[in-house]
C-alpha cells in the first residue's frame, strides 16, 4: 500500500513548488482540466524505487490573512490524521513567524515522522540563517531551494527512510474490490447499508461522519466481491473540517487499491466539482467507474429528466463519456441490483482480452476506411495492432511514422474499439509505436 506524504506550512513558503517538483517524474493525478479541483493537489512520486502519494494542503487555503490561521490549523490536523509522513515547509528569508510556531506546536504532539524543510536556502549565508529553525523544537532540519531543486535529494532520502513499515495486507480470496466513493453526504453509507441489509455503517445527516476504509465481503444475490468504504464514526470535533479536502484524501487510498469505483453523487446537488475531482482521480488511476445518481426519489421529474441529467453529466466527463450512469435511491432501494449488475459488468469489461487476429481483422478495416491524416506530405501506414497483456486495457498500433499520429486520431481508434467491444466504464490506453 502506498505511503501518503502531506506537505504543510503557511501560505507562500513554496509548498506547491516543492509539490510540483516531487510529482514531475509522474503526471499529477488531478489534472488542470477546468473544474477538476482547485490547482493540482494530489499526485504520485517515486524516489529510489519507492512510490508514494503526495498531498499539497496548500490548494485548500482560501480567504484573507486573518482567516488563514484557522484554515492552516485544520489542514495540519487533517494531514496528521491522514498522512504517514509530514513535510513541514518554512521560509529562511522570513525566519520563524507566529504562524510557523502555531504549526510547530501542533506537530510537536505528533507521533508520526515530521521532516522540517527550510526553503530558499541557496547559498552559505542562508545555510547559517537556517540554524534559527532549531527553535521550533522539531529537531534536525533539511535545507533546500524548491525553485532550483538543490537539496531536495537529501530531503527525499530522509523521507524514504522515515516511511513506516507497512504490514502486508491479506486480500480476501482474491475477490474483486469495489470502492464506494463520493463527496460527503452523497449517501455512500446508506447505499452500502441497503446492499448489506444491516446498519453496519452509522448514517447521520451530518456530512462526513465516515472514517477509515473498511473492506466488507459481499456475498448475496449471486455476487461475490469486497466492498471498500470509508466507514466508522468521526469524532465530533472533526465534523467542522474542510470536507472537500477530507474527501479527496479519503478517496485517494480507496481508489488506489480498488478495481472498480462506484461514484455516488447526490441527485439534489448535481455533478459538482468535487464529484469531478474524484471521477478524474479514478480515471487517472485507470480504474473502472460506475456513476450512481443517488436520492433520485427526491428530484422533481418530467419525462426528459433522466436523459437530461445524464447528458449534463456526460458533458462534464468529456472525452471519457462511455461510463454507466444509473439513477438509484438507497433509501427506497430503487435499482440497487441494477447498480450491482452494472458494476460487475464493468469489472468484466476491464479484464476482457481480445484475440490478436480478431482485433487486426476489425481494426485494420477501420484504419483503411479512415487512415491517419497525412502530415507534411508524409503518409502514415498502420499494418498491425494488438492488445497488450496488462492489468487494464491497453492497445498498441505499429506504424511507420508514429510521431505523426495525433491525439484526435487516437481518440478515433478508441471510439472504434468501444463501438465493437464493450469497454463501458473502463479507461483505455492507445499507444502508437514504430514497426
The owner of cell 477538476 is: 36
Say whether both 225 and 299 belong to one domain: yes
Asked, for residue 12, whether it belongs to a domain, the answer is yes
pLDDT, one tens digit per residue, over 341-378 is 999 999 999 999 999 999 999 999 999 999 898 888 88
User: Are 368 and 342 members of one domain?
Assistant: no
Same domain, 322 and 273: yes
Is 360 marked within a binding site?
Answer: no
CATH number of residue 140's parent domain:
3.40.50.300
Answer yes or no: is 230 a known binding residue.
Answer: yes
Q: Does 182 show up as a binding residue in the annotation? A: yes
| 194/321 same-domain check | yes
Q: Would you say residue 167 lies in a domain?
A: no
Q: Which of 349, 366, 388 is the last residue of a domain?
A: 349
Instruction: Answer whether residue 322 is part of any domain.
Output: yes
240 is in an annotated binding site: no
Has 11 been labeled as part of a binding site? yes
Q: Bridge-partner residues for 5, per DSSP?
A: 54, 85
Q: Which of 123, 77, 87, 64 is nearest to 15 (CA)?
A: 87
The annotation status of 49 as a binding-site residue, yes or no, is no
User: Is residue 295 marked as binding?
Assistant: yes
Is 120 marked as a binding-site residue? yes
CA distances from 323 to 116, 183, 188, 365, 390 (A): 44, 19, 19, 26, 21
User: Is there a binding annotation on residue 375?
Assistant: no
Binding site annotation covers 157?
Answer: no
The answer on 366 and 344 residing in a single domain is: no
Domain span at residue 379? 356-434
Residue 222 marked in a binding site: no
The answer to whether 309 touches 317, Cβ cutoff 8 Å, is no
Question: Is 205 within a domain?
Answer: yes
Tell me, yes or no, whether 194 and 325 share the same domain: yes
User: Are 21 and 109 contained in the same domain?
Assistant: yes
Query: Is residue 142 annotated as involved in ligand binding?
Result: no
Q: Is 148 annotated as a binding residue?
A: no
Say how far apart CA 381 and CA 372 lie, in whole Å: 8
221 and 299 assigned to the same domain: yes
Q: Residue 13 annotated as binding?
A: yes
Count of structural domains, the chain? 3
The string of DSSP letters for 71-140 reads HHHHHHHHHHHH-SEEEEEEETTT-S-HHHHHHHHHHHT--S-EEEEEE---SHHHHHHGGGGGGGSS--
pLDDT class for 288, splitting at 50, 70, 90? very high
* Inside any domain, residue 170: no
**Same domain, yes or no: 335 and 215:** yes
> Do the annotations mark residue 47 as ligand-binding?
no
Asked if residue 247 belongs to a known ligand binding site, the reply is no
pLDDT digits (tens, 9 = 90+) for 38-97: 334 667 788 888 888 888 776 444 444 555 566 666 667 777 777 889 999 999 988 888
Q: Known binder of ligand: residue 183? A: yes
**Is 232 annotated to bind ligand?**
yes
Contacts of 190 (CB under 8 A, 6+ apart): 203, 294, 330, 331
For the segment 83-142, what is each residue's pLDDT rounded down to a tens digit?
889 999 999 988 888 888 888 988 888 888 999 999 988 888 888 888 899 988 888 999
Is 59 marked as a binding-site residue?
A: yes
Q: Are residues 237 and 337 in the same domain?
A: yes
CB 16 within 8 A of CB 26: no
* Residue 108 sits in the same domain as residue 210: no
**Structural domain ending residue among the three candidates 162, 194, 217:** 162
Residue 57 marked in a binding site: yes
User: Is 281:248 a contact under the CB 8 Å cutoff?
Assistant: yes
| Within a domain: 227 | yes
The CATH number that applies at residue 428 is: 3.30.300.20
Of 349, 381, 416, which residue is a domain's last? 349
Q: Is residue 168 part of a domain?
A: no
Mention every residue, 6+ apart, whose C-beta is less than 8 A from residue 259. 176, 177, 178, 287, 288, 347, 350
Shared domain for 331 and 366, answered yes or no, is no
How far apart CA 317 and CA 323 sit, in angstroms, is 9
pLDDT, position 237: 39
Amino acid at each position: 500500500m502506498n505511503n501518503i506524504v502531506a506537505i504543510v506550512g503557511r501560505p507562500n513558503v513554496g509548498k506547491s513548488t516543492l509539490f510540483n517538483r516531487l510529482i514531475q517524474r509522474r503526471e499529477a493525478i488531478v489534472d488542470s482540466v477546468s473544474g477538476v479541483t482547485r490547482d493540482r493537489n494530489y499526485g504520485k512520486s517515486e524516489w529510489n524505487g519507492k512510490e508514494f502519494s503526495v498531498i499539497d494542503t496548500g490548494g485548500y487555503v482560501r480567504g484573507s490573512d486573518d482567516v488563514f490561521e484557522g484554515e492552516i490549523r485544520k489542514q495540519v490536523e487533517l494531514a496528521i490524521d491522514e498522512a504517514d509522513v509530514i513535510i513541514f515547509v518554512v521560509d529562511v528569508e522570513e525566519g520563524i513567524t507566529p504562524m510557523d510556531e502555531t504549526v510547530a506546536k501542533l506537530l510537536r504532539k505528533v507521533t508520526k515522522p515530521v521532516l522540517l524543510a527550510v526553503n530558499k536556502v541557496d547559498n552559505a549565508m542562508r545555510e547559517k540563517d537556517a540554524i534559527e529553525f532549531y527553535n521550533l523544537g522539531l529537531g534536525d532540519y533539511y535545507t533546500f531551494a524548491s525553485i532550483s531543486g538543490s537539496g531536495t535529494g537529501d530531503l527525499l532520502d530522509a523521507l524514504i527512510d522515515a516511511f513506516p513499515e507497512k504490514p502486508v495486507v491479506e486480500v480476501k480470496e482474491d475477490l474483486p474490490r469495489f470502492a464506494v466513493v463520493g463527496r460527503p453526504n452523497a449517501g455512500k453509507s446508506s447505499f452500502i447499508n441497503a446492499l448489506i441489509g444491516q446498519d453496519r455503517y452509522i448514517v447521520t445527516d451530518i456530512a462526513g461522519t465516515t472514517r477509515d476504509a473498511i473492506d466488507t465481503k459481499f456475498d448475496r444475490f449471486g455476487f461475490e466481491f469486497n466492498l471498500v468504504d470509508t466507514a466508522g464514526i468521526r469524532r465530533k470535533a472533526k465534523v467542522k473540517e474542510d470536507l472537500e479536502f477530507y474527501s479527496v484524501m479519503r478517496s485517494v487510498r480507496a481508489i488506489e487499491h480498488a478495481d472498480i469505483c462506484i461514484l455516488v453523487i447526490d441527485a439534489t446537488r448535481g455533478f459538482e466539482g468535487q464529484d469531478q475531482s474524484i471521477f478524474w482521480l479514478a480515471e487517472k488511476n485507470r480504474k473502472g467507474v460506475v456513476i450512481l445518481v443517488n436520492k433520485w426519489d427526491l428530484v422533481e421529474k418530467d419525462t426528459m429528466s433522466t436523459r437530461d441529467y445524464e447528458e449534463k453529466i456526460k458533458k462534464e466527463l468529456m472525452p471519457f463519456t462511455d461510463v454507466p450512469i444509473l439513477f438509484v435511491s438507497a433509501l427506497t432501494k430503487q435499482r440497487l441490483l441494477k447498480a450491482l449488475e452494472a458494476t460487475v459488468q464493468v469489472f468484466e469489461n476491464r479484464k476482457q482480452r481480445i484475440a490478436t487476429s480478431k482485433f487486426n481483422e476489425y481494426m485494420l478495416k477501420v484504419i483503411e476506411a479512415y487512415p491517419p491524416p497525412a502530415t507534411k506530405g508524409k503518409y502514415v501506414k498502420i499494418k498491425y495492432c494488438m492488445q497488450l497483456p496488462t492489468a487494464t486495457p491497453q492497445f498498441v498500433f505499429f506504424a511507420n511514422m508514429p510521431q505523426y499520429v495525433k491525439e484526435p486520431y487516437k481518440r478515433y481508434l478508441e471510439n472504434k474499439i468501444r463501438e465493437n467491444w464493450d469497454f463501458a466504464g473502463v479507461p483505455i490506453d492507445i499507444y502508437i509505436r514504430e514497426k
